[in-house]
A and B are shown apart, each in its own frame.
Chain A
């Protein structure tokens, strides 16, 4: 339902609207659907039906068509997400680096499960599929930024930052040939940074196959040794 008091999102933003519409050829006006959705989503952390209606009118499609497009994609949200939208990649390479535990940790810390936003709108949690950060797994995406090779310690620090309303600095991790051409072309394996992963830690079994209820939720602080982050 439309709220009569709601000002149209693109009212008073003619340059922005023009910039988006002019990117596409005249016969491809419909291509502007997703960019317009992105603008609303970034500003309001969700796309309400009223906004979608406005976008549909701008582009010249029906609301149903616009909704069909919007609902196809996992990153457009009908309900508001938090100021810090936590997206945990859980696909194979991240799983092999502990993404299941990372997710469990976030569940414990935020009290949310995937798909939820907390009451004060700070955090929301989402499980996502492969983010293309397999070499620097596990990865946690906060809003638009990737936080790669997130250890338990780093994850706790990130949450502390966000609880203090500070946007955490994204970290760019290196590995493989991403170290720079000079080093890479020398074909010196030693020049390639050693990654601090501790395979030995994989020996002890943990009850992570069980559903969410954490058995030892008292210990939130990192207490396992090994793994110089």
Chain B
């Protein structure tokens, strides 16, 4: 299938007839979380193929060739990350699934876990095989209790069916086929308790180990010293689910979708002022217009900006040109933003931008772990206070300058990316909507006063 001489053009639209919903094909289907349902639709065949027909190195190569980049927000090539693992030396190795989805605007992983938990388990099996890990750690955020229950039951089902445990996919062997020992693999399901910072990979590991969830110094990176100090690879839920299909259908299928630097199918999330919010699966490189208008039904009221990939990504003004941008990593970087998790939030014209940013800042202020000074004092203390002052109508033009200086000087100084995740969207709001800040400090009242938004 990958030996086609003349490659057809890559799929970059959901409306391309060759595109099919893959990651979300079971989501929303009644009873899809059960093992029988999953297996009757080809479930666990990809993991079986990996374990029985491929060497770990071949699986890593396949994932590399697919070009899949980490779906948790950073967009690091997943196959490359796997190849950072040191040679197998007999030490315990871990594959960790980061299911601490908590970036505002992101909600794709919740449905994956609630409605299709076996897809994730299969993805962890494949990734575990690829890196030689016999233990998987599935860290799910505390608020996702339904997902936790579904995963707990699914893991029990998989154990009972011999899909987790000792000798998974072992072959007894006969005259023609030699015996295979199979793969020893099991999953530890661990529940968080409500802390955004646990989405940072080293903070997650500390949390899992029963420590305060402060991020660790890098290096050493998780591949050198991760969970309990052992070699570890950590991936997002969607990334692991993608591996099922990369192995099952081949890297060429996955790489046949998307743009130069962003391959495959991706879950985009749409929320805010749109008619049909929700998760939509699209090939990489589809435009914001396709997501917001063709799938989301368009804005529900006049819009002035959209956040492209979760609240930490700098917003883009609502314009025809920006709507036509392809949703991929390279394009977003080029326009000074990020694709993040692909969580698009549409901000309506009637929403005061200062008020909206105060909300975003409050989130990061609340979630700062307090480990390092720039974040604890800047993000967690000064910035929310400045916003409170502005919203109380007591701000001055000088305050705006101070705030701009502050977020500029905060950039890159904190221990982990949380401070930048807050500073960047604030800077973008000043860049595009400074007039709203100025109106507020000049008049003491916002340009767009609060309006009722709650449906009766």
Contacts and interface: CB of A to CB of B under 8 A. Distances in A.
Interface of A: 23-25, 27-28, 30-35, 37-38, 59, 61, 68-69, 72-76, 90-93, 95-102, 105, 128-138, 141, 144-146, 149, 151-153, 170, 174-182, 184-185, 187, 189, 192-199, 201-209, 222-227, 229
Secondary structure at chain B's binding surface: helix, strand, loop or mixed? loop
B210 A68 contact: no
A175 B300 CA distance: 15
A86 to B, nearest CB: 14
A132 B144 contact: yes
Interface string B426-448: 00000000000000000000000
A74 B107 contact: no
Contacts of A92: 104-105, 272, 307, 311, 345, 356, 359-360, 363
Interface of B: 14-15, 19-21, 24-30, 92, 101-107, 109-111, 115, 135, 141-146, 188-196, 207-213, 228, 269-273, 275-281, 294-297, 300-301, 307, 311, 343, 345, 347-348, 350-351, 356, 359-360, 363, 366-367, 369, 391, 449-456
B453 to A, nearest CB: 4
B195 A72 contact: yes
A210 to B, nearest CB: 9
Pick the 9 closest A-B CB pairs, nearest first. Answer: A176-B278, A98-B454, A175-B278, A73-B193, A30-B210, A134-B271, A144-B145, A33-B210, A101-B454
B367 A129 contact: yes
Given A32-B210, A129-B363, A129-B367, A184 B21 contact: yes
B195 A24 contact: no
Given A38-B193, A130-B363, A194-B276, A181 B21 contact: yes
Contacts of A95: 356, 359, 453
A72 B271 CA distance: 29
Contact of A132 (B30, B110, B195, B391): B110
Given A37-B193, A75-B143, A146-B146, A180 B29 contact: yes
A227 B455 contact: yes
A92 B194 CA distance: 17
18 contacts: A34-B207, A37-B193, A69-B212, A92-B307, A129-B196, A134-B343, A134-B345, A135-B277, A138-B454, A145-B146, A149-B455, A176-B296, A177-B279, A178-B111, A181-B27, A192-B278, A195-B277, A197-B275
Contacts of A23: 188-190
Q: Which of B275, B343, B345, B456 has the most CB of A within 10 A?
A: B456
Contacts of A184: 21, 24-25, 27-28, 281
B209 A206 contact: no
Contacts of A141: 143
Contacts of B29: 180-182
A206 B456 CA distance: 14
B271 A91 contact: no
B27 A177 contact: yes
A25 B92 contact: yes
A30 B211 contact: yes
A137 B271 contact: yes
Contacts of B19: 187
A201 B109 CA distance: 32
A91 to B, nearest CB: 5
B213 to A, nearest CB: 6
Contact of B143 (A32, A131, A177, A207): A131
